[in-house]
Structure 1
Amino acid sequence: MIDVFFISGTMCTKDLWQYIFPYLKNINPIHIDITSASSFDEINNIILESISYPAILVGFSLGGFSAMNFTSQYPEKVDKLIAIATNSKGLNPIEIKLRKSTIEFLKKNNYGGISQTRIQQFLHPKNHDNQDIIAVIKKMDANLGKDVLIKQLKATSERTDITHQLKSYKKQILLISAENDILINPAEIKQLSKEMSSSTHVNLKQCGHMIPLEKPKELVYLLHLFIDS
């Protein structure tokens, strides 16, 4: 069995991987909880304390950026890196603006949970009425709550571009994007992959941002292909 360390995204718990973990063969998935962190330095410390290294890191969205950031600073501790639905440049201006307005709103109002409109922004249109996926997203959001949401939005919205640092990492990197992800431009991921000699890029069709929930079978296949190589 190979230990593989998984890091979830903003307002995501271990439940994000519920369609992935049971189908991994010869892999021991270990979830790293970063929801207590107030900065990327704290996230790095949590990862350091959680992994046996050289480690295989798998990160989704915020977790993917966190895995990239950790790898850029501790390349000797990472054997393989898999970054899902994220890029090394951080968030686009529209998402940053939305997060700032969300923080101000949350400070002044009660939080009734993630809205249907926001959930649909994360998903491919064909999944807008997928009650199984929607239920997972709502459960994760409810379990973490308002205080964690504010903390994560504050701590992780302003992200330094780590592309240059990441280019010095010479081991294998798998970058997974989605054709219909409105948060992360797949063209930027493709370009990043071209700039990194050790990377492979896969772009999933008919999929939004929530790749582990929307395309679990494809993700399991890619994880095995990359980790077993």
Structure 2
Amino acid sequence: MVIDFVPGTLCDERLWYKLLPLLPAGFGARHVPLYGARTRAQMQELIATHTAPRAHIVAFSMGAYLALEHALAHPDRVASLVLIAASARGLGEEEKERRRRTMAALETQPFAGMPPSQLRGFVHPPHLHDPSIAGVIHQMALDLGKETMLAQFEASMERADLMERLHELRCPVLFVGGEFDQKVPADDLREMSDRVRQSCLGYADDSGHMVPLEAPEELADDLYFFYSSFLEEPVERRTLTG
């Protein structure tokens, strides 16, 4: 079985580097290069062309919202959906205004990655100085750069509220949130799960928004139980040796 991974804003395949070794035996990974797009239409095209005809999609944050759009537009192309740290709602006005200020500042200032002041809104405080978490986030931002950030902010600013359409999903869905996520309210995740017939909901303890980096073991456990619940072939759990 191959899982199609969709990253979030200013993220690439490094977002999943802790999770991949924990995947059940026999699972493979394919990455959607969302950072290569500059418009919303290009983002959706990348998801359509880089996922399987009947895809098992695992998506994070902005990428999860886009994956949800893809599943609603092409229900026959999605076999299962895992949405991590994402809401089906559009962005609130406060978040939009914050993004507009950031975009305006970046137009005239050099880009230095994600400063600590911004990082505090994405990770649980104990992880702020962990190079395997904060360091990876900062390096991804530096490598993908200002133009990618501006394009992704612009392309994803206006989002329709998809809550009322969640009942249309035909595939099993796993929603995963971080216990200390400052970006996605827990109430949104619970409401989303309640609106989907085949759904389950998990929370990663001691994690902020960046669940794949902050809580890879818990996310791997959630994926194991999720896929075991509906796949015809048994899922063999990966045994790690230290």
Alignment TM-score, normalising by the size of structure 2? 0.90
Deviates more, 1:200-209 or 1:147-156: 200-209
Map of 1:1-229 to 2, 5 A cutoff?
A: 2-24=1-23, 25-229=25-229
State the Cα deviation string for residues 61-109 of structure 1 (Å, max 9, x = none): 0111111111011111000000000011132332211111111111121
Q: Aligned letter for 2:212?
A: P
The 1-side partners of 2:108 and 2:42 are apart by 27
Aligned-pair CA distance for 1:189: 0.8
Offset at residue 202 of structure 1 (A): 1.1
Contact 1:8–1:61 (Cα < 8 Å) also in 2: yes
- After superposition, what is the alpha-carbon deviation per residue over 1:114-163, rounded to whole angstroms, capped at 9, x for unaligned? 10111121011221222321110111011101111111111112111122
SS at match of 2:36: coil
Question: For the Cα contact (< 8 Å) 1:65–1:90, is it kept in 2?
Answer: no
Alpha-carbon contact 2:113-2:142 (below 8 Å) kept? yes
The one-character-per-residue Cα deviations of 1:2-44 (angstroms, maximum 9, x if unpaired) are 0110000000011000001122121111110111223332222
Q: Does the CA-based 8 Å contact 1:72-1:162 persist in structure 2?
A: no
In structure 1, distance between residues paired with 2:106 and 2:93? 20
Unpaired stretches in structure 1, ≥5 consecutive residues: none
Q: Which residue identity does 1:193 align to in structure 2?
A: S
**Partners of 1:196 and 1:131 in 2: CA distance:** 37
What secondary structure sits across from 1:138 in the alignment?
Answer: helix
Residue-pair matches, total:
228
CA distance in structure 1 between the aligned counterparts of 2:40 and 2:227, rounded to whole angstroms? 26
What code does the residue aligned with 2:4 have?
Answer: F
Residues 57, 81 of structure 2: 8 Å contact kept: yes
Instruction: Find the aligned partners of 1:68 and 1:177 in 2 and give their Cα distance.
Output: 16
Letter of the 2:215 counterpart: K
Kindly provide the amino acid, as one letter, of the partner of residue 227 in structure 2.
I
Amino acid paired to 1:92: G
> Partner amino acid for 2:210?
M
Instruction: Give % identity.
Output: 27
Shift of 1:227: 2.0
**Which TM-score applies when normalising by structure 1?**
0.95
